[in-house]
Amino acid sequence: MYALVDVNSFYASCETVFRPDLRGRPVVVLSNNDGCVIARSAEAKKLGINMAEPYFKLRGLLERHGVVVFSSNYALYADMSMRVMTLLEEMAPAIEIYSIDEAFLNLTGIDNCVSLEQFGREVRQRIAQCTKLGVGVGIAPTKTLAKLANHAAKKWSRTGGVVDLSNPLRQRKLLALTAVEDVWGVGRRLGKRLGAMGITTAIQLADADTAFIRNNFSVVLERTVRELRGEACLAIEALPATKQQIVSSRSFSHRISDYQAMREAVCSYASRAAEKLRTEKQYCRQVSVFIRTSPHDTASKYYANQATSRIPIPTQDTRDIIALALHGLERIWQPDQRYIKAGIVLGDFFNHGVAQPGLFDEFRPRANSDSLMTLLDTYNRSGRGKIWFAGQGVNQDWKMKREMLSPAYTTRYNECPVANLR
DNA sequence: TCTGGGGTCCTAGGACCC
DNA sequence: TCTGGGGTCCTAGGACCC
């Protein structure tokens, strides 16, 4: 049996935990650059504010209803997440941290001591007591059904935030009430295609022929069908898999047309990506850089391009990654464009920095690279200040907007720790 | 004027090998 | 006139998740 535990309105709740004066008031949290809404308190949801709506379009409505608005404060959310996950780890034999606010629990052996539903209530109570955050708990024999149970626990308040779907009859009852798009793994596109075939509810999907689904869709959707029937196809992954790529990208606070500003941004993203690579204890051989204008700009033609550079010996040295990124940037840079976003993607990972160089390769690894990078990372995490590369610039006026940022209640700085939350 | 930032997996098709 | 059968690797694109 599995449980899915997730925090209600996670980002919005993290903000109100430290502002009891805001309890009962509508609260929303914005994406980076104060772009669009990515979290809403229950009160804000009631006002009809949708997920991913652009802030500038909502401004009037938000003001009229006295909605409290926050920029995202990832340092705070990451810290609160860690507290919740630590509590869950104490309560279950194994957990899989699925996202910043969700975890799957392996419930093996739990029902020897207490009913599963009772266990769900204890989880809720303990997390509320220690963090003041509310969670929903869905319990079922497969992950997909546990997701569905969790969904139901949030939707119907008389469940008290816990739904146990051990019973197959209850499973079918809930499946019949669920739209196919609300199934985990079915998005808008698949929902539409399924709808055209007459499959509009979760129970119809569960009863569909697996061979038919496999032929017309993919093995992924076939697994979903089986999971809905109670046949577990997905296991708890207690150890996070090694990453296959690392992305570091941001939109700018305003449009950029100046090469120097773009160069600073690319250097900064490359440096950040290299830091993440080192926390993953990986070395990479491929660095891509991408730049683009805004697709919403109607005045000028949309331009988006990317360039990939490779290095013969895997590296985790910021200097190599910056050099590769800038080499790519030179190839795709076009003057007279109004750029809105740039980013770096690292790929082709190795877990060591050794490779057989070609006989005629001129490239040689840098001496003492590991010690220098370790020194850099240790110092930057010490809280005494930051060392950065000259190419990253000093003023950085392209840096993202965060005009409604809350204080660092639980951490010393409002910078996201390099610690990785998948 | 203003529209986020990360990830994963799967499939199809092309290039190439013997 | 007629031209096999079995692979691998890579990339782009599509779909999904939070």
* Closest to A343 (Cα-Cα) out of A418, A251, A275, A260: A251
What is the Cα Rg of chain A in Å?
24
The burial of A260, by beta-carbon neighbours within 10 Å (0-12 exposed, 13-18 middle, 19 or more buried), is given as exposed
The gap between A315 CA and B18 C1' (Å) is 35
Q: Are A158 and A152 in contact (CB under 8 A)?
A: no
Q: How far apart are CA A274 and CA A353, in angstroms?
A: 14
Strand B and A143 CB separated by under 7 Å: no
Nearest residue to B9 (CA, C1')?
A220
Q: What pLDDT is stored for residue A418 in this prediction?
A: 40
Strand C contacted by A102 CB (< 7 A): yes
CB neighbourhood size of A304 (10 A): 12
Place of tokens 């650059």: A33
With a 7 Å cutoff on the CB, does A101 touch strand C? yes
Name the token pair of A64.
């009229």
The pLDDT of residue A395 is 81
- Closest alpha carbon to A342 in A351, A352, A332: A332
Window A374-413, strand B contacts by Cβ < 7 Å: 400
Q: What angle do the packed helices A318-332 and A259-279 form, to 10 degrees?
A: 140
Chain B nucleotides reached by a protein CB under 7 Å: 1-11
What was the pLDDT predicted at A144?
96
Quick check: A295 CB within 7 A of strand C? no
Q: Which nucleotide has the shortest C1'-to-CA distance from A222?
A: B10
> What domains are defined for chain A?
76-103+137-229 (1.10.150.20), 246-392 (3.30.1490.100)
Q: Which segments of chain A have a pLDDT < 50?
A: 416-422
User: Which pTM was predicted?
Assistant: 0.90
Alpha carbon distance A16, A368 (integer Å): 47
* Nucleotide nearest the Cα atom of A35 (by C1'): B3
Question: Is the CB of residue A219 inside 7 Å of nucleic acid strand B?
Answer: yes
